[in-house]
């Protein structure tokens, strides 16, 4: 069975459409999303509506939470704060409601495996940034009750393997930060427990121009070209 994991779309419709087109060619049975559908880029409504249209199970990222939090933006950097403020004004009410009601974490058994899906970490789904350098003891502790843990948030893809158990970060669809500009996502083959991290080119110029036209910070458009 082949399962696709996408994360951190951040309102980048061009990247999302390119990734979905690639997924169609990969004999994928199911797609799961690790959150942060919105923030940074200029098509939050279209991205949310695409996820709803395709009925893709999704957990709530910190940006998804942020547009529904009337109190505190202090955990976000200045560019993220401006993007959230803009997104709050732009989002349709039904899309805001959809984001507000996403689960913080998805613990499930599927395809004969125990999964934990979270945007951040299993212990801190909104704000736990997990990198490949995280201590093995921490990863192994989390895997004591799961076969596969899939996380987002960092925008940097990685796979850690412990026997047949896996920690996966599919990277970011909409704003990669590993110095590769192409959109990133992952496919898990559950029969052989193999992970394929895929990179997909997309129309970065259009996505960046939309950011500038919307009045969002120029930096958010520029970084798409550099993958940083």
User: Residue 201 is part of a domain; what is its CATH number?
Assistant: 3.60.21.10
Residue range(s) defining the domain that contains residue 57: 2-103+168-226
Is residue 113 a part of any domain in this protein?
no
* pLDDT tens-digit readout, 194-204: 999 999 999 99
Is residue 147 a part of any domain in this protein?
no
* pLDDT tens-digit readout, 20-50: 999 999 999 999 999 999 999 999 999 999 9
DSSP secondary structure of 178-226: SS--SEEEEEEETTTTEEEEEEE---HHHHHHHHHHTT--HHHHHHHHH
- Tell if the pTM clears 0.85, that is, is over it: yes
Is residue 110 a part of any domain in this protein?
no
Is residue 17 a part of any domain in this protein?
yes
Query: What is the per-residue pLDDT for 70?
Result: 63
Query: What is the per-residue pLDDT for 107?
Result: 98
Is residue 210 a part of any domain in this protein?
yes
Number of compact structural domains in the chain:
1
Is residue 175 a part of any domain in this protein?
yes
Query: Which residues are CB-neighbours of 170 under 8 A, at least 6 positions away?
Result: 5, 6, 7, 34, 150, 152, 157, 184, 185, 186, 197
188 confidence band (pLDDT: 50, 70, 90):
very high
Is residue 138 a part of any domain in this protein?
no
Is residue 161 a part of any domain in this protein?
no
* pLDDT tens-digit readout, 84-96: 999 999 999 999 9
């Amino acid at each position: 069975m082949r399962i696709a994991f996408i994360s951190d779309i951040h309102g980048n419709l061009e990247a999302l459409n390119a990734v979905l087109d690639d997924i169609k060619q990969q004999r994928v049975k199911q797609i799961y999303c690790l959150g942060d559908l919105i923030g940074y880029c200029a098509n939050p409504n279209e991205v949310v509506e695409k996820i709803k249209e395709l009925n893709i199970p999704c957990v709530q990222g910190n940006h998804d939470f942020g547009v529904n939090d009337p109190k505190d933006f202090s955990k976000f950097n200045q560019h993220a704060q401006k993007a959230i403020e803009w997104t709050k004004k732009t989002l349709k009410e039904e899309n805001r409601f959809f984001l507000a009601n996403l689960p913080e974490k998805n613990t499930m058994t599927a395809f004969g495996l125990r999964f934990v899906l979270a945007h951040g970490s299993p212990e801190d789904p909104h704000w736990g940034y997990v990198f490949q350098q995280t201590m093995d003891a921490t990863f192994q502790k989390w895997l004591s009750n799961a076969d596969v843990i899939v996380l987002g948030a960092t925008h940097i893809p990685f796979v850690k393997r412990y026997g047949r158990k896996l920690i996966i970060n599919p990277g970011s669809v909409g704003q990669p930060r590993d110095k590769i500009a192409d959109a990133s996502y992952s496919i898990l083959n559950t029969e052989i427990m193999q992970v394929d991290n895929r990179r997909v080119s997309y129309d970065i110029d259009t996505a960046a121009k939309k950011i500038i036209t919307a009045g969002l910070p120029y930096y958010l458009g520029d970084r798409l070209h550099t993958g940083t």
